[in-house]
């Protein structure tokens, strides 16, 4: 077994990668958002793990902030998604390619 700190960071980066790959391949806006949330979860977990490692409570504070930011971002994102759906009649992110070329 490797040293103590590596396993949680390994887990965090795996979850981050899953989120990243999900972001790259998904077309639906809700799934893109889901993927962003997964990436935020992964970074938050890394913060908590490291705060445990270095016995510094700031990491856990950061975790709370990330949660708050994620919640706020979710609200704004949902509002944008609703407007998007009114305009384009679907939630296909590929429809937003007006800056093409």
Partner 1 sequence: MLLGAIPLLPFVTFVVLLLVGARLPRYAISFIGVFGIACSAICALICASTYTGVQTQIYWAWIGNINFAFYLDPLSLFMTCMISFVATWIAVFSVRFMDEEDGTARFFGSMNLFVASMLVLVLADNLLLLLLGWEGVGLCSYLLIGFWYKNKAAGRAATKAFITTRIGDVGLLVAMLFALVLLGTLNIQDLLGQAAINWKPGSMEATIIALCILFAATGKSAQLPLQTWLPDAMLGPTPVSALIHAATMVTAGVYLIARLSGLFALSPIAQTMVLAVGAATLLIAGLCALAQNDLKRVLAYSTMSQIGYMFLALGAGAYSAAMFHLLTHAFFKALLFLSAGVIGYCAHHEYDMFKLGGLKKLLPLAYYSFLVGALCLCALPLVTSGFYSKEFILSGVLFSIDGGVFAWMSGLLGAFVTGLYTFRAITLTFFGEAKTPVVHKPGPLMAIPLGVLALFSIVLGFLQTPEDLFHIHKIADWFAGSFPDVRLHSTLILPEWSTLLIASAVSMIGIAVGLLAYKKSRPVDSVFTRGLGFDDLYGLAVVVPYSFLSRLLRRDIFGEMALSFARTVYSMAAFLGRVQTGRLTDYASLITFSLVVILAFLVLR
Nearer to partner 1, 24 or 75 (CB): 24
Nearer to partner 1, 29 or 59 (CB): 29
Name the residues that contact partner 1, by CB under 8 A. 20, 23-27, 32, 93-94, 96-101
Minimum Å gap between C-beta 67 and partner 1 is 23
Minimum Å gap between C-beta 44 and partner 1 is 20
Q: How many angstroms separate the CA atoms of 95 and 8, rounded?
A: 38
Measure CA 39 to chain center.
Answer: 3
> Which residue matches tokens 């390619």?
97
Helical (H) or strand (E) element with 76: helix 58-88
Q: Identify whether the C-beta of residue 61 lies closer than 8 Å to the C-beta of residue 17.
A: no
Minimum Å gap between C-beta 93 and partner 1 is 5
């Amino acid at each position: 077994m490797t040293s103590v700190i590596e396993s949680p960071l390994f887990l965090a980066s795996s979850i981050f990668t899953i989120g990243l790959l999900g972001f790259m391949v998904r077309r639906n806006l809700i799934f893109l958002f889901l993927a962003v949330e997964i990436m935020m979860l992964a970074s938050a977990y890394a913060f908590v793990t490291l705060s445990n490692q270095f016995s510094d409570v700031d990491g856990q504070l950061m975790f709370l902030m990330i949660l708050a930011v994620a919640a706020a971002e979710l609200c704004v994102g949902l509002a944008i998604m609703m407007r998007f759906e009114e305009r384009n009649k679907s939630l296909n992110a590929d429809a937003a390619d007006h800056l093409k070329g």
